[in-house]
């Protein structure tokens, strides 16, 4: 009794396979995906222009810094331009605010704060232009970002370091007196409202 059932089952499986092999496929007339499918990212030219206008430096200077970052990280899907102030006596604090810029979105006011660690004393103010990678959603920015060890470098007078958390990478760029703060940063906390508590 079992043998006929097995033969019937095998026949049905074979028939299904044969039917699938002769079923015509429907041609997909949709165009292939564009190579520029990441239309939500900013091109190097867009970043260079925005950064040079913000810092008041030549596009050539900004292009050198942008080239280094994009070689490491690719194209950003957002950037933040703003100002920050910091003060230190070996251990210091930093506070900043600026605008989060994303393609197709209204600019959003954001704030950051965090401790700085280093062997220096004093205070300064600087402009900061931060490239943001893999943001996807605004809420992913609102977290603590520790610095990535060994990522601090200087290109054409612009200091750059990387910070990474929860799949999001930030590349803050600072010029002039802001370089000290960039070197000494330990981590930064981003939020959608001002908070004076540094940690």
Report pLDDT for 29. Answer: 36
4 contacts: CB under 8 Å, gap ≥ 6: none
Report pLDDT for 194. Answer: 85
Mind giving me the DSSP string for 25-70?
PPP--SPPPPTT--TTSPPHHHHHHHHHHHHT--HHHHHHHHHHHH
Report pLDDT for 5. Answer: 41
Q: Which residue in 115, 56, 108 sits closest to 89, CA to CA?
A: 115
Report pLDDT for 12. Answer: 35
The span from the CA of 155 to the CA of 67, in Å, is: 10
Report pLDDT for 8. Answer: 36
Mean pLDDT by 10 residues, the chain (199 residues): 43 36 32 46 96 91 92 96 78 88 96 76 78 96 86 79 94 74 71 77
25: left (phi over 0), alpha (psi -120 to 50) or beta: beta
Output the CA–CA distances (angstroms, integers) from residue 44 to 14, 19, 29, in the order listed.
56, 52, 33
Q: Which residue in 58, 22, 70, 11 sits closest to 156, CA to CA?
A: 58
> Could you tell me the pTM of the whole model?
0.74
Q: pLDDT for 113-134, tens place per residue?
A: 988 666 555 666 789 999 999 9
Contact 83, 98 (CB under 8 A): yes
Report pLDDT for 16. Answer: 37
Report pLDDT for 172. Answer: 93
Contact 96, 85 (CB under 8 A): yes
């Amino acid at each position: 009794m079992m043998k006929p059932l097995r033969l019937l089952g095998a026949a049905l499986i074979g028939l299904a396979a044969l039917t699938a092999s002769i079923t015509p496929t429907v041609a997909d007339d949709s165009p292939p995906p564009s190579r520029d499918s990441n239309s939500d990212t900013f091109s190097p030219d867009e970043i260079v222009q925005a950064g040079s206008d913000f810092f008041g430096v030549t596009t050539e200077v900004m292009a050198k810094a942008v080239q280094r970052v994009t070689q490491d990280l690719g194209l950003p899907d957002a950037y933040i331009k703003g100002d920050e102030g910091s003060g230190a006596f070996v251990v210091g604090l930093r506070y900043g605010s600026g605008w989060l810029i994303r393609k197709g979105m209204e600019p959003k006011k954001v704030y950051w704060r965090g401790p700085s660690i280093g062997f220096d004393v004093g205070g300064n103010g600087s402009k900061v232009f931060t490239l943001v990678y893999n943001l996807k959603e605004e809420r992913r920015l609102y977290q603590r970002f520790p610095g990535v060890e060994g990522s601090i470098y200087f290109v054409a007078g612009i200091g750059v370091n990387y910070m990474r958390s929860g799949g999001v990478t930030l590349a803050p760029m600072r010029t002039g007196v802001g370089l000290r703060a960039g070197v000494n940063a330990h981590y930064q906390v981003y939020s959608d409202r001002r908070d004076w508590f540094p940690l």
